[in-house]
C-alpha cells in the first residue's frame, strides 16, 4: 500500500516491478493466506489508479516468465513488450556502461569482447565484468605475498575478460522462446497476433511515454 500512496503523492510517477512473476505469479491452493491477501490488496489499489481520471501513475512490470503471471494481473497490463537479448553493438555499449569510471586498460576492444558474448544478457555481461575484476586483485595479493608493494590493483585488461569468457556460461534465452510462450499463455499474451504490433514500434512508443512522464516529474518538482 505504501508504494501506491507514495506514487500518488509524487505523481506523475512510474511504479516499476521487476521480476513481477515472483510476486504476482499464478495463485495456487498451496499459497499462504498472507500472500493471497497481499496480492488481492495490491490489485485493489492498482484498480483505484485505473479508475481515477486524475491519477497520473503508470505501472510497469518486467519478467522473464510471462506464462507464470496470474491472469488477473495480465488483464491489468494491456500491453506487452518483448525486450530481446542484446546484439553485438548493444553488448559493446553495455560493457562500456558497466566499466565506465573503473580502472581499465585503454586498449580494451569492446567490440571484440562483445563478439565473443553471443547470447549473453545484460546480467551475464555484468557478471562477466565482476568475475574479471577479481584478476587484478589476485595479482595485487600475489605481489604483496612476494614482498612487493603496490598502492592499488592494476587496471582491468582485455585478457582478464577473455579468461572469464573461456569458462563462463551464458543465460542463452532465445527471443523466439518468449514468442512461443506468449502464444501459449492466456490474457494479452495469448490473444495477440505477433504481427499486429511490431516490437520495435511498441518499445519506441513506450520509451517516449516513459520519457514524457520523467520530464513531467522534473517539471513539477521545479514548480514553486
Contacts of residue 70, Cβ cutoff 8 Å, sequence gap at least 6: 24, 25, 26, 27, 39
**Average pLDDT over every residue of 178-204:** 47
The pTM score is 0.57
Please give the pLDDT value at position 39.
75
pLDDT tens digit sequence for 19-71: 888 777 776 766 667 766 777 777 777 777 655 667 787 888 888 888 888 88
Please give the pLDDT value at position 80.
81
pLDDT tens digit sequence for 201-223: 444 555 555 555 555 554 555 55
Cis peptide before 12 (omega within 30 of 0): yes
User: Residue 162: pLDDT above 80?
Assistant: yes
User: Can you give the residue ranges of every domain in the chain?
Assistant: 2-84+174-222, 88-165
User: Residue 140: pLDDT above 90?
Assistant: no
- Provide the H-helix boundaries in 71-169: 71-75, 88-98, 110-115, 122-132, 134-145, 158-165
Q: How far apart are CA 190 and CA 182, in angstroms?
A: 6
Considering the domain 88-165, what is its CATH architecture? Answer: Orthogonal Bundle (1.10)
Cα end-to-end distance, the chain, whole Å: 29
CA dihedral 28, 29, 35, 41 (to 10 degrees): 80
Amino acid at each position: 500500500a505504501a508504494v501506491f500512496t507514495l506514487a500518488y503523492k509524487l505523481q506523475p510517477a512510474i511504479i516499476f516491478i521487476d521480476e513481477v512473476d515472483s510476486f504476482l505469479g499464478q495463485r495456487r491452493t498451496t499459497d499462504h493466506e498472507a500472500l493471497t491477501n497481499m496480492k488481492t490488496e495490491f490489485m485493489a489499489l492498482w484498480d483505484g489508479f485505473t479508475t481515477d481520471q486524475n491519477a497520473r501513475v503508470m505501472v510497469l512490470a518486467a519478467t522473464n516468465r510471462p506464462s507464470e503471471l496470474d491472469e488477473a494481473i495480465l488483464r491489468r497490463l494491456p500491453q506487452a513488450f518483448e525486450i530481446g537479448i542484446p546484439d553485438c553493438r548493444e553488448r559493446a555499449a553495455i560493457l562500456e556502461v558497466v566499466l565506465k569510471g573503473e580502472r581499465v586498460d585503454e586498449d580494451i576492444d569492446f567490440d571484440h569482447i562483445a563478439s565473443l558474448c553471443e547470447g549473453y544478457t545484460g546480467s551475464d555481461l555484468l557478471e562477466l565484468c565482476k568475475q574479471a575484476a577479481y584478476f587484478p586483485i589476485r595479482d595485487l595479493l600475489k605481489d604483496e605475498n612476494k614482498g612487493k608493494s603496490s598502492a592499488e590493483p592494476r587496471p582491468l585488461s582485455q585478457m582478464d575478460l577473455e579468461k572469464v569468457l573461456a569458462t563462463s556460461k551464458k543465460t542463452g534465452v532465445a527471443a523466439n522462446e518468449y514468442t512461443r510462450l506468449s502464444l501459449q499463455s492466456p490474457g494479452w499474451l495469448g490473444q495477440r497476433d505477433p504481427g499486429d504490433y511490431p516490437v520495435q514500434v511498441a518499445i519506441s512508443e513506450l520509451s517516449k511515454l516513459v520519457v514524457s512522464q520523467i520530464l513531467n516529474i522534473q517539471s513539477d518538482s521545479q514548480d514553486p
